[in-house]
Chain A
Amino acid sequence: MKIAWHDSTVLWRIVRGLFWTLLSLGVASFINFILIQYAPVKPDDFFASQEILTTAQYDQAPVSKQSLFQGYVHFLTRIFTGDFGRSQLYDVPVIDVIQDALIVSLTLSSLSLLLSYGGAFLIAWIYFISGSMGKKFLYGALSVLQSLPKLFVALLLVIVFASNQDSGLFPLESPPLINDLHLDRWDLFWNASQKFILPTLTLFFAYTPKVFLYFVGMMAVDSRLQNHLFWRGHGRSKNQIFWLSESRYLLSTLLWRVVNDFVFLIFTYGFMVEIIFSLPGMGFLGYRAIISGDFDLFMAIFLLFSVISVAFNFILRALVPTYEQVKL
């Protein structure tokens, strides 16, 4: 049945979705705001055993004379007028700092996500065409790899590639300053991309097993097994069945997890990987903002996290009517 945009159910779904999205954003940002407000922000005072002051008390800002809710509304008004404040840490507008960091984080997570999906898809293909022993081996190996802590994977890579420090490949620290001004585009690209290699590899090894196990779960659904038996009965090989039917199904099911994966890679895995490899993305920036008490920068990162995660979910809910039924 064709669903028209003037259909009341579609409109109602969108209005309801918008309402819940705004409410979710409001609640999430309010919780973040409370956390920041009650966190003591000057580490030096704290370690000098002085009286611990909250952000509001320390700044003696108008916020401190208001109630918590008024302070929150004041903050939101500032945000809606486009004033994200100024970073104390970098002494530039917060929006500028976030722009740079966001590019790094988006590059890292997009690359890793694409590689993970590609890798998992290829392994799923091998899994599908292999015999029972091969299936057991692949499933077991990937299960173990999935169980490994991401810190473990990242540090194993550090050990493996530490010996390549001298050759200039996979540096663990930022590349040294080059005085030679005759750099071509390739050199510039290579210098910029070197920093991404190990973090991307870490995220690839950490995330591919997750996606693969998801694919295996999807292939084991009753309807897929019946489909498989049907085509086998018609004399098709496993390889043909995979590329004709299973591949399309697997790729279409990625729709249900792409948003969560992306947000997860940026803010959860990315946070850890960026700190380990000192990559100046959102996670690393957030960490530095916390330990230096940079309220505006930190609040902007928190808010961005909430906006991305809630808004992406809203878009999917609006576009795909059965999104939540599948999630359940």
Chain B
Amino acid sequence: MKFFFPHQKRMRSTLISFLLINGVCLLWMAGFRESGCLAFHPQPPSAAYLLGTTTNGFDISFILAKSIIQTLWFLTVTVSLVFFFSVTLGIVFGYFCRLNFWVPMLRIIEIVNSIPLLMVLVILGYYHWLFWGSFLVLMLLFKWPLCAQVSQGLAMSYRVTMPVLLAQMNGISDLSIIRRYFVPKIFKALIPKVPTLAVSLFNTLTIMDFLGYSFLGSSMSLGSLVAEGKDNLYAPWILLSGLGGLLIVLLPFILLSFSVVSEGSKAGERCQ
């Protein structure tokens, strides 16, 4: 598993932040006592309601705690699946170049990119066909080009390097070469792409939430909180809490991007 986490020391911050966010949210939810609707007007932040209430009188801190956990886990699972799928596809198409003659990957990417994903999602959302499973499948179908293209390029360049040619001449099977040589190298090289992928997926998720097509649980989600805040600017705590929630969900991925960058710059300094 070492190749999945090439910068283990630096990635601790990402893991710790992930666990910390989950822990705090769970504790907050465990200690929460629902007092029902307060009134049909938003209450500003106070000792009783730390982040205030929504226009329907629901406690924003509880909504945040619940939706942050849901969104964070969903995002992590989706990012992992899309990343693994796209990198694997890229490696296969890069190593077995002949495949491109029958199934040209760049043309398929072009077709995928020429379908407006957000509009497809809105169609599905509007007619209640959007749930976490369909969203996941659509993300797999539409977001794989983000990493697959780079992964294919890397695999194509690695396959003409000396170690690979020697291994092929010595009769080592293709699967073994891919597993032992390509997968570790390409996964390492593409770890910096993970935050970009996460941001891209999160953008799609939040805009769907914002438009009112939330599918993560029955309660209010982060995007719908933000939408309510935008419609009620006279109660700025709603919008600010929603935006804060969005930042918290992205925090582990921002830390990951920092860790990869700082590791890269340290490596560069060592080389110099």
Chain B residue at minimal CB-CB distance from A263? B113
Q: Contact between B233 and A159 (Cβ–Cβ < 8 Å)?
A: yes
- What's the least CB distance linking A54 to chain B, in Å? 11
Known: A158-B233, A310-B110. A20 touches B257 (CB 8 A): no
B202-237 vs A, CB cutoff 8 Å, 1 = contact: the mask equals 110011001100000000000100100110010010
Distance (whole angstroms) from the CB of A57 to the closest CB of chain B = 14
Contacts A23-B107, A149-B202, A286-B116 hold; do A156 and B243 have CB atoms under 8 A apart?
A: yes
A32 in the interface (beta carbon within 8 A): yes
The winner among B111, B120, B223 for most chain A CB atoms within 10 A is B111
- Which residues of A sit under 8 angstroms from B118, Cβ to Cβ? 267-268, 271-272, 283
Q: Could you say which of A114-122, A139-147, A196-204 contacts chain B?
A: A139-147
- Report B-chain residues with C-beta under 8 Å of the C-beta of A143: 254, 257-258, 261
CB contacts (< 8 Å) of A263 on chain B: these are 113
B195 in contact with A291 (CB, 8 Å):
no
A-B residue pair count with CB separations less than 8 angstroms: 133
Q: Give the docked Cα–Cα distance between A306 and B120 (Å).
A: 13
Q: Which A-chain residue is minimally distant from B229 (CB atoms)?
A: A155
| Interface assignment of A68: CB less than 8 Å from any CB of chain B | no
A15 to B96, CA, bound (A): 25
Q: Cα distance A306–B113 when bound, in Å? A: 8
A contacts with B, residue count (CB < 8 A)? 56
Which chain A positions have C-beta within 8 A of B239? 155, 158-159
- Mark the stretch among A38-46, A59-67, A177-185, A236-244 that contacts chain B: A38-46
Given A149-B199, A149-B203, also A24-B265 (CB < 8 A): no
Report the separation of the CA atoms of residues A305 and B240 in the bound assembly, to the nearest whole angstrom: 35
Report the nearest A residue to B195, measured CB to CB: A147
Given the contacts A152-B247, A155-B243, A290-B119, A28 and B258 also touching, CB distance less than 8 Å: no
Known: A43-B126, A147-B199. Is A139-B261 also a contact (CB below 8 A)? Answer: yes
Find out whether the CB atom of A151 lies under 8 angstroms from the CB atom of B207: yes
Q: Which of B14-22, B51-59, B148-156, B170-178 contacts A (4 or more CB under 8 A)?
A: B148-156
A28 contacts B114, CB within 8 Å? yes
Q: Is the CB of A24 within 8 A of B107?
A: yes
Candidate in B211, B239, B243 with the most chain A CB atoms within 10 angstroms? B243
Q: Which residues of A contact B254 (CB under 8 A)?
A: 143-144, 147
> In the assembled complex, which residues on chain A have CB atoms less than 8 Å from the CB atom of B195?
147
From residue A67, how far is it (CB to closest CB) to chain B in Å?
22
A188 to B97, CA, bound (A): 58
Contacts of B203 in A (CB 8 A): 149-151, 272
Q: Which of A5-52 contact B (CB under 8 A)?
A: 20, 23-25, 27-28, 31-32, 35-36, 39-40, 43, 46, 52
Q: Are A39 and B127 in contact (CB under 8 A)?
A: yes
Interface string of A290-328 (1 = CB under 8 A from B): 110000001001100110011001000000000010011
A124-B111 Cα distance, complex, nearest whole Å: 33
Interface residues of A in 117-142 (CB under 8 A from B): 136, 139-140
Q: In the complex, A283→B207 CA distance in Å?
A: 13
Q: Does A287 sit within 8 A of B, measured CB to CB?
A: yes
B210 touches A151 (CB 8 A): yes
A125 to B230, CA, bound (A): 37
Instruction: Please name 11 pairs of A and B residues whose Cβ atoms are closer than 8 Å in the assembled complex, sorted by A.
Output: A149-B199, A151-B206, A155-B230, A159-B236, A286-B116, A301-B119, A302-B116, A305-B116, A310-B111, A328-B149, A328-B156
Rank and list the top 9 A-B pairs by shortest CB-CB distance, nearest first: A328-B153, A306-B114, A309-B114, A28-B114, A147-B254, A24-B111, A305-B116, A151-B206, A310-B114
* A-B contact sample (18 more), CB < 8 A, given A28-B111, A301-B119: A24-B110, A24-B111, A40-B127, A140-B261, A149-B206, A152-B206, A152-B247, A155-B226, A155-B229, A156-B243, A158-B233, A267-B118, A271-B118, A272-B118, A272-B207, A298-B119, A302-B119, A306-B115
- Partner-A contacts on B (CB < 8 A): 104, 106-107, 110-111, 113-120, 122-123, 126-127, 149-150, 152-153, 156, 195, 199, 202-203, 206-207, 210-211, 223, 226, 229-230, 233, 236, 239-240, 242-243, 246-247, 250, 253-254, 257-258, 261, 265
